[in-house]
Structure 1
Amino acid sequence: VCKDAGVPPMLVKDENDNLVPLVDLQGKFTKEMGEFAGMYVKNEYYADDEAPERSVDVEIAIKLKEENKAFKVEKYVHSYPHCWRTDKPILYYPLDSWFIKVTEVKDRMHSLNEEINWKPESTGTGRFGNWLKNANDWNLSRSRFWGIPLPVWRTEDGKETKIVGSVAELKEEMALAVKAGVMTEDIFADFVSGDMSDENYDTIDLHKNVVDKITLISASGEPMQRESDLI
């Protein structure tokens, strides 16, 4: 509705000229919010005994009333999602995500599906066939801690990207990083490329807390950090 009405999104540019919201990833207003900068958008985000007497939404409402910019301000009770772990309010936040561009190949997938001799036939021509025919791009990344790390390393400005396809390839990239001085050692030094034994793979750990310590080097000589998302 806002887009159709020509109302611009409430976004500002960060240090890399990327459009970002007025609330940072810690749940605080950014510097562009003036007197409200640095304040949590929810009082529940403050540490114990540190929350202000009046929450920031109340402060904003008061300011709008004082400046005669609010027609009416009132409180009403409504449902709001909370984290099941912490019981704190959830803040919905627009984030960049990684997608598989299914739309480029969905016609081909649908065509191949019609060549399969499904038993019963309705399995392939019904729900599954309709799903393929109307498939959208697949958002495969998740912003969390546990999971399979995306094997994607990028420079800080996002202009250079490396996608690593195996542990052997990662070791080769780490060797280049050590040579360039952005890493001190190959943290998978005990891993033997080509050895598929359990004993060999027990020498490494591919979880986020380990692979995020790996810094690679780009073709232009810039350090590269792994994308923080997981699958």
Structure 2
Amino acid sequence: MISRFAFQFGYGLDCRFVMDCHGLPIEYEFEKKRGKLAWSYSEIEELGIAKYNEECEKISIEHMDEWKNGLSRMGRWLDFSNTCSTSQPKYMENVWKIFKELWDNKLIYKDVKLLPFSIGCASPLSDIEAKNHLNVDSLEITISIELISDKEKFKGTFLMTSCMNPCWKLLANVALCVNPEKDYVKIITGKEYILSRSYYEKHFKEEKIVDTFKGHELVGLTYVPAFEYYSNNEGSFRIIPSSDPVTETGTGIIHLAPGLSLQDYNICNELRFVESSELPCPIDETGKCLLKGSEFEGKYVDHLSNQLVKNLTLRSMLLKKEKRTSYQNSCWISGRTLIYKAVEGWFLDMKSINTKYLENCKNVKWFPENIANRFSNNQYEFWLISKSRYWGTPLPIWMSEDGEEIIVVESIEELEKLTGKSGLENIHREFIDHLTIPSPTREHVILKRVPYVFDGWFESGCFHLLIFNLKKG
């Protein structure tokens, strides 16, 4: 409607039909057709990236025809004679050019961050993609953890510890946290237990308080973990302080798994307790447990909690279990609940451009006006623009094995020149993954392409510059 209105007033408009053909929705559709969802990376590579992408391309073409027919029947005013899609080499090359400009302006960096992860699509999602929610029933448990201390008042005592839902995250536990300023008590109920005074007052009326102290007396003490899968991590299994509201919940002694929970990560990161590159995460991209040799190996997250409760019960560590319904993030494509997982990738530094971005938003005339709030409230600090996937525009980054040398390619012509490979007509992964670039500064060193494709949303956002470049000639 707005474009037609502008056209009537003499504005020149390019109304060509542009189709988003890359990304997770197409890959997910392929997997549905094959009758198996959440393919692992190894399963896709066993099938072959070329075959996988060929099937994805067929699906995108089918949907393109459906869109054309549907839009024509609705009377949409579009130029179907000059159709463009994100899977065309010219478009993909345009994405490379834009990325190269961002790289040259030092707005791209490599990092490991804890991100929402779809085990239904075997891929991380951006925060803006993780806005869907589901009501999910999961287990919340309270367990007995033995405290280790030479202090007389703490000898032989146990920590009444809360494991918030879903409780299977206890498998990646590396620390406990307490509020250093809050009151904690020691009571005797079979054993000597430590818990917060507030929890005691809600749930214990007959048990007598043996001792009262502040949480800071527990800080720095160690404990015997329920599971020692990450015992090699330096400093693990220690009580750390936090004033986070989470310490007001449950028993006031909260288990932390920073490799699986953003809240836990933030608490640990504030104290520099963990490094992003060392976040313990025993779950693979499809939601399967990776703890080799354990009874949990090979089990999916949907079944881990029951197995974990059974284990704790047999070891007399389970004090209480309770099924709770909670509001959890879900995948907008597969509909499954999301987990948080440490992800390595390439990020766009949004923090550096937010000020100019917000200033420019003020100069836009928004229809309707309330949409402006959606854009003016942008507080994102980064954008993961890489995905460990297959059907998409490959990141044009070639890097040496030691990470010391990086070359970012901006065109097919430049890639042919650097690799010595001529006649490149397609730059999807199966056509360029094997291409290497000799180091310009070191003998016998080669640079290989990093195994990522662009986030589909990033590709979509490059369309306006493609049109601009075409008009510029």
Provide TM-score, normalisation by structure 1: 0.57
Is 1:207 paired with 2:451?
no
- Corresponding residue for 1:225? 449
Matched, 1:131 2:375: yes
User: Is 1:145 aligned with 2:365?
Assistant: no
Matched, 1:67 2:297: no
Which structure is higher in RCO with an 8 Å CA cutoff and minimum separation 6?
2
> How many angstroms apart in 2 are the aligned matches of 1:104 and 1:83?
29
Amino acid corresponding to residue 413 of structure 2 in structure 1: A
Number of residue pairs aligned between Structure 1 and Structure 2 = 185
Aligned to 2:283: 23
Output the CA distance in 1 between the equivalents of 2:322 and 2:402.
44
Q: 1:173 to 1:27 in 2, by over 3 A?
A: farther
User: Is residue 259–residue 340 contact of structure 2 (8 Å, CA) maintained in 1?
Assistant: no
SS of the residue corresponding to residue 147 of structure 1 reads: coil
Structure 2 unaligned regions, length at least 5? 1-163, 165-176, 178-241, 248-253, 261-276, 456-473
| Distance change >3 Å, CA 106–CA 163, structure 1 → 2 | same
SS at the partner of 1:224? strand
Q: Specify whether residues 124 and 62 from structure 1 end up closer, same or farther in structure 2 by C-alpha distance, changes over 3 A only.
A: closer
Q: Is 2:372 the partner of 1:99?
A: no
Residue 44 of structure 2 is matched in structure 1 by none
In the alignment, structure 1 segments of 5+ residues that lack a partner are: 44-54, 176-185, 192-203
Amino acid at match of 1:190: G
Distance 1:152 1:127 in 2: 36
- In 2 relative to 1, CA 105–77 (structure 1 residues): closer, same or farther, beyond 3 Å? closer
Report the residue type matching 1:214 in the other structure.
Answer: L
Equivalent position of 1:164 in the other structure: 409
Cα distance in 1 for residues equivalent to 2:418 and 2:429: 18
Describe the SS at the equivalent of 1:98: strand
In structure 2, relative to structure 1, the CA distance for the partners of 1:227 and 1:156 (3 Å cut) is: same
Q: Supply the AA of the counterpart residue of 2:414.
A: E
Contact 2:387-2:453 within 8 A present in 1 as well: yes
Q: d(CA) in 1 for partners of 2:288 and 2:373?
A: 46
Task: Using the TM superposition, give the Cα deviation of residue 56 of structure 1 relative to its aligned residue in structure 2, in angstroms.
Answer: 4.5
Deviations, residues 115-160 of structure 1 (Å, cap 9, x unaligned): x5x5xx5569874487257353334334433222221233445454
Q: Which has the higher helix share?
A: 2
Q: Sequence identity, in percent? A: 21
What's the CA shift for 1:29? 2.6
Contact conserved, 2:361 with 2:375, CA < 8 A, in 1? no
Distance 1:149 1:61 in 2: 43
Q: Which structure is larger by alpha-carbon Rg, 1 or 2?
A: 2
